[in-house]
Amino acid sequence: MNNQEIILDVKNLNTSFISDRKQVDIVKSVSFQVKRGTTLSVVGESGCGKSVTMNSIMRFLGSNARVSADNIQYNALRDGEITEYHLETYKKSNGPEMRALRGPDMSMVFQDPMSSLNPVYKVGDQVAEGLIQHTGMGKKEAREKVLELFRKLGIPDPESRIDCYPHQFSGGMKQRVVIAIAMICNPELIICDEPTTALDVTIQAQIMELLKDLQVNEGKSIVLITHNMGLVAEMADEVCVMYMGRVVEFGSLEDVFDHTSHPYTKALLRSVPVLGLADGQILETIPGITPNPADIKGGCDFADRCPDCTERCRQGVIPAFEIAKGHRVRCLKYDSFPEVNG
């Protein structure tokens, strides 16, 4: 695979937080790639480090976070030319290099639209702000662009809504504004951090459709963070399953859904509620609880909850094995396959 095909290449990303003078590792040697023009879904239960991983890449973490990586490479495609950016080399989280990328190249849609908009500014101005920053466009021209985008995103009556304040919008409309903020500079890569978790189910579907449209019609690359397996099945081209800060399984949608290999992924898929559960059929749950990231011990993090756990699982670092091309699983059951980094 070359730079043309891969838009984001992350190798061995580690993130830890310092709290009470103790270091807690949240993301541990995470590697994945996002292919240009496709959707990568990052799934896992709450607290598994999905959001932290993406925030580490965008460098949105506070000063108590320590991020290190062998490689965080973003390949921009402009007029058929590839420009490589090595994000891990930028020292300052909010320095000029990172800021130049945020908006026109990579942007983010946040989880909670209620709190993601600044309550004291008109939504139109908030959307236009990034555009004016990056293009030096005049206010009037920017307003036209914003109106155009609002129309495209299905915000009704954009001419009057553009001058409203966030509190006058419903949750779904707010999320459209948040998406507009992310889209206004026409970035190639959009990271969506559980974009529909805070919304009603019907609104969820609309927003997801909107994102799918953007990806299909405009060739955007999307990273979708979610814990909703239904969404994954609908949206994803590739899936990255995370557990306790590690990628446990990575592969195409078919790989992960049809040739599910890691015991955790299997358990996760079994615990998805299905409409019309037969009488007597019980919705399965994953036994045990998610361990506290502060209690570090060796071996596989899933060992205590895993039905196939053996003595070997409790020692050392479990490597990932490539069981098919592009399908990597971090489980000793597959140690006959070649070991890979990731």
Partner 1 sequence: MLKFILKKLLMIIPMLLLISMIVFFGLQMTGVDPINFMVSPETLSANANNVEALRESLGLNDPLIVQYFHWLGNCLHGDFGYSFDGSAIASIIAVRMPYTFELAGYSLVLSAIIGIGIGIISAIRQNGIIDYVGRVLAVLGQAIPQFLVGIILIQFFSIKLGLFPSGNRVSPEATNTFVDAFVHLFLPVLTLTIGMVAVLMRYARNTMLDVLNSDYIKTARSKGIPEWKVYLKHGFRNAMKPVLVILVFRIPMLVGGSVVIESVFSYPGIGLTMTNAITSGDYPVVLVTTLIIAAVMLICSFMVDVFNALLDPRVRLGE
Chosen residue from 1, 2, 91, 120 binding partner 1 by CB under 8 A: 120
Choices 16-24, 162-170, 239-247, 277-285 (CB under 8 A): range interacting with partner 1: 162-170
Please tell me whether residue 57 adopts helix, strand or coil conformation.
Answer: helix
Q: Looking up tokens 């459209």, which residue turns up?
A: 176
Nearest in space to 272 (alpha carbons), one of 281, 259, 261, 285: 285
Residue 236 Cβ, how far from partner 1 at the closest point, in Å?
A: 23
Please tell me whether residue 61 adopts helix, strand or coil conformation.
Answer: coil
Residue 184 Cβ, how far from partner 1 at the closest point, in Å?
A: 8
117 forms part of the interface with partner 1 (CB under 8 A): yes
**337, burial (CB in 10 Å: exposed 0-12, middle 13-18, buried 19+):** middle
Taking residues 179 to 198 in sequence order and writing x for each that binds partner 1 by CB under 8 A, - otherwise, the string is --xx--x-------------
110 forms part of the interface with partner 1 (CB under 8 A): yes
List C-alpha distances in Å: 182 to 109, 117, 131, 222.
6, 12, 10, 12
Choices 9-17, 161-169, 265-273, 279-287 (CB under 8 A): range interacting with partner 1: 161-169
**159, burial (CB in 10 Å: exposed 0-12, middle 13-18, buried 19+):** exposed
Sign of CA dihedral 185, 133, 140, 169: positive
Chosen residue from 52, 101, 214, 242 binding partner 1 by CB under 8 A: 101
Chosen residue from 45, 47, 154, 165 binding partner 1 by CB under 8 A: 165
Number of residues forming the site for partner 1 (CB under 8 A) = 35
Instruction: Name the DSSP class of 102.
Output: B
CA dist 76 and 102 (Å) reads 12
Chosen residue from 68, 118, 271, 310 binding partner 1 by CB under 8 A: 118
Please tell me whether residue 124 adopts helix, strand or coil conformation.
Answer: helix
Residue 143 Cβ, how far from partner 1 at the closest point, in Å?
A: 16
Q: Judged by CB, which is closer to partner 1: 70, or 112?
A: 112
Which tokens is 105 given? 């190249």
83 forms part of the interface with partner 1 (CB under 8 A): no
Q: Judged by CB, which is closer to partner 1: 104, or 245?
A: 104
Q: Which residues contact 100 (CB under 8 A, 6 or more apart)?
A: none
Q: Looking up tokens 């994945």, which residue turns up?
A: 32
Chosen residue from 3, 14, 133, 186 binding partner 1 by CB under 8 A: 133
Taking residues 39 to 78 in sequence order and writing x for each that binds partner 1 by CB under 8 A, - otherwise, the string is -------------------x-x-xx---------------
Chosen residue from 18, 82, 100, 272 binding partner 1 by CB under 8 A: 100
CA dist 81 and 231 (Å) reads 33
104 forms part of the interface with partner 1 (CB under 8 A): yes
124 forms part of the interface with partner 1 (CB under 8 A): no
119 forms part of the interface with partner 1 (CB under 8 A): yes
Which tokens is 110 given? 């946040």
Q: Which residues contact 261 (CB under 8 A, 6 or more apart)?
A: 249, 323, 327, 329, 331, 333, 334
94 forms part of the interface with partner 1 (CB under 8 A): yes
Residues that bind partner 1 (CB under 8 A): 58, 60, 62-63, 94, 98-104, 107-108, 110-112, 115-120, 126, 129-130, 133-134, 165, 167-168, 178, 181-182, 185
